[in-house]
Structure 1
Amino acid sequence: MASSWHACWIFDQSRSVGYNSKQNKPVALVQSPTLHTGASVSTTQPAEGGRMFQSIDDVKHRLKAANYLASDDIATVVFLADQLGKPLLVEGPAGVGKTELAKAIADALGAELIRLQCYEGLDEAKALYEWQYAKQMLYTQVLRDRVGELLADTQTLREAFERIAEEEDLFFSERFLLPRPLLRALMAEQRPVLLIDEVDKADPEFEAFLLEVLSDFQVSIPELGTIRARTQPFVLLTSNQARELSDALKRRCLHLFINYPSFAEELGVVRMRVPEASEALAAELVAFVQEVRNLALKKVPGLSETLDWARALALLNVHHLGVKEVERTLGVIIKHEGDQMRTRQSIPELLRRAQLRLREWEE
């Protein structure tokens, strides 16, 4: 299988950033000065000084500091997405570092990473906002006596209804609003990194809604009005190509494809990320994984599986890869039963080809 990889992923997963418990506190949302509403509609542009990167070299330098080695291709696309204010769509097989690119960007810049994990059936309520009905009911019970006083001088049901209606805005205010990832990104005071992960798993209807949000970076909430982003997020969408995305969404984004790494690139990542593995073992296991990717499997191992396997073999004090060592640990890199059966039958041949690959590389 021809392999063309645009970056060496060495992101340390232990340093990844994601949801923070304090970000979900309703009180913080009430106090936030970044909720801007109004009747007019306008396209949001990044605030002055909101650009993240100064140059392509700056992108490479900062991502390297965050343990992500970006090629010129990746650094260029990231820089252009930042400067043009356009979302970045990153496609490629699972396990090659698409999600880690977003994490590395946020980590390198000290920006908040807001992640929307897509799945079949995801709707606007889960992605945008919800009302905290339980909290509204609690306040209603606590204020029951005051409500009685408010209605004491009403004579008819209509009068009581209209009196209550005059106060309904109190129960549909920021105090009871629970922002989900998309709205959190629009409300962020400092420019965040918005990761829309595995967008290909969402339904086409949600994709259309997402396109609308990304076009203007504003949403309308009937009870509150139009909410505009104070500063346009850096948006990165990932896709494993489970389905074809719409042309409209692709036109809205810059595109980057990350494939499986070459032998030299993958070996470099393993050496840096798993220094406890011997030089010989690292080379042998990478060569083996490269050969496994040529099999007709349901899910071939990605770079993340290679790193896991290197750690597992080092933990077992393995210094040389043989049939026995592969059979004992095959489940680390092959996750489907049918794939495991097919791979087990080919282990001797895969090891032979891996040795040939090593000799060619050494020459």
Structure 2
Amino acid sequence: MPNPRPAPLPASVDATLDLLTGGSYVADRSLATSLYLALKLRRPLFLEGEAGVGKTEIAKVLSATLGRKLLRLQCYEGLDAAAAVYEWNYARQMMEIRLAEATGDRDRDALSADLFSDRFLVKRPLLQALEPDLAGPPVLLIDELDRTDEPFEAYLLEILSDFQVSIPEYGTIRAAEPPIVILTSNRTREIHDALKRRCFYHWVDYPSAAREREILAVKAPQADARLAAQVVGFVQSLRGMDLYKAPGVAETLDWAQALVELNQLELEPTVINDTLGTLLKYQDDIARIQGSEAARILAQVKTELAATTAR
């Protein structure tokens, strides 16, 4: 069976847009430009923006369209090197020590060298990303970096600048070819400048109404065009309000798909009230919008759409 050949990286911004489109991702040109430069110059791409705007999806699309392995490190408070980079298989090391003691066939120095060899090294996503792959360097997704703490950020600096990991007992492991690195943050806290300097940066904003309709057409093609336009108009209006958590694109898609399942061809006040839980994730926000406020927003959306159609 022939070895898979690495898929070529896009050769231009337009080719990058085509690549994303081929993965059913509707992107604007500024995002495609940032991604193209990161791929071309082999730099990590740091994507920041509100939750649900499609940051994580970019890494998934790159993996699928380029045919590369996706390695995902989901960040959380307290994440450390043992979970993110490597750890030693202590149970196997103890068994090896006891076996050596029982048989007496190895001296202390040989045993010590063997215990910290590759066969006892448990590789986590960051270390796996530095290994060669027949399909080409993998896509490394470091997701929701803002959930970790500053010591872990500091640990990432060596990896993101030199694409290497230093293991005291083992040595330095360096990537023959840098992985494609995508970092995301929902900006629940600021990321340190030292890390940002090692990356290209792009803010992923909420889409315009026109682009959000394009996204619905790609991701939820079953939705009637009139329903899709009303959904987008309603969601865009909500984002202009002072809510605890405005709905992202992910919630727009969830809502549209839920309405399709309910056989809705257009929005109605009753169905909005019944389905707000798929769009808004906090009870205070739901209570504020339900009822007369939802009816008011819907009436405004329908009036604006009617005026646009009449032009």
**TM-score normalized by structure 2?**
0.91
Shift of 1:235: 0.9
* 8 Å Cα contact 1:289-1:306 kept in structure 2: yes
Q: Distance in 2 between matches of 1:165 and 1:50?
A: 45
Q: Distance in 2 between matches of 1:263 and 1:129?
A: 44
Q: Which amino acid aligns with 1:211?
A: L
Q: Does 1:286 align with 2:228?
A: no
Q: Distance in 2 between matches of 1:320 and 1:69?
A: 24
Q: Which amino acid aligns with 2:132?
A: A
* 8 Å Cα contact 2:92-2:120 kept in structure 1: yes
Q: Which residue number corresponds to residue 301 of structure 2?
A: 354
Q: Distance in 2 between matches of 1:188 and 1:337?
A: 48
Gaps of 5+ in 2: 1-5
* 8 Å Cα contact 1:119-1:201 kept in structure 2: yes
Q: Which amino acid aligns with 1:94?
A: A
Name the SS of the counterpart of 1:60 in structure 2. helix
Q: Does 1:114 align with 2:71?
A: yes
Q: Which residue number corresponds to residue 45 of structure 2?
A: 88
Matches of residues 1-363 of structure 1 in structure 2 within 5 Å? Answer: 52-140=9-97, 143=99, 147-150=101-104, 163-189=107-133, 190-345=136-291, 346-362=293-309, 363=311
1:289-328, Cα deviation, whole Å (9 max, x unpaired): 1111122111111111111111111111112211100011
Q: Distance in 2 between matches of 1:358 and 1:178?
A: 57
Q: Which amino acid aligns with 1:164?
A: R
Q: Distance in 1 between matches of 2:178 and 2:218?
A: 35
Identity %: 46
1:189-243, Cα deviation, whole Å (9 max, x unpaired): 3311111111111101111111222111111112211111121011111111111
Q: Which amino acid aligns with 1:177?
A: L
Q: Distance in 1 between matches of 2:102 and 2:125?
A: 38
* 8 Å Cα contact 1:267-1:283 kept in structure 2: yes
**Distance change in 2, residues 1:361/1:243 (3 Å):** farther
Q: Distance in 1 between matches of 2:103 and 2:219?
A: 67
Name the larger-Rg structure: 1
* 8 Å Cα contact 2:24-2:218 kept in structure 1: no
Q: Which amino acid aligns with 1:61?
A: D
Task: Kindly tell me the number of residue pairs found equivalent between the two proteins.
Answer: 302
Shift of 1:148: 2.8
Q: Which amino acid aligns with 2:296?
A: E
Aligned-CA RMSD value: 1.9
Shift of 1:357: 3.0
Name the SS of the counterpart of 1:276 in structure 2. coil
Gaps of 5+ in 1: 1-48, 152-161
Q: Which amino acid aligns with 1:351?
A: L
1:28-76, Cα deviation, whole Å (9 max, x unpaired): xxxxxxxxxxxxxxxxxxxxx9972222222122221111133221221
* 8 Å Cα contact 2:212-2:232 kept in structure 1: yes
Name the SS of the counterpart of 1:101 in structure 2. helix
1:340-360, Cα deviation, whole Å (9 max, x unpaired): 111115212211221233234
Task: Give the number of the structure with larger relative contact order, counting CA–CA contacts within 8 Å between residues 6 or more apart.
Answer: 1
Q: Which amino acid aligns with 2:193?
A: D
Q: Distance in 1 between matches of 2:110 and 2:180?
A: 40
Q: Which residue number corresponds to residue 3 of structure 2?
A: none
Q: Distance in 1 between matches of 2:10 and 2:217?
A: 29
**TM-score normalized by structure 1?**
0.79
Q: Distance in 1 between matches of 2:101 and 2:211?
A: 68
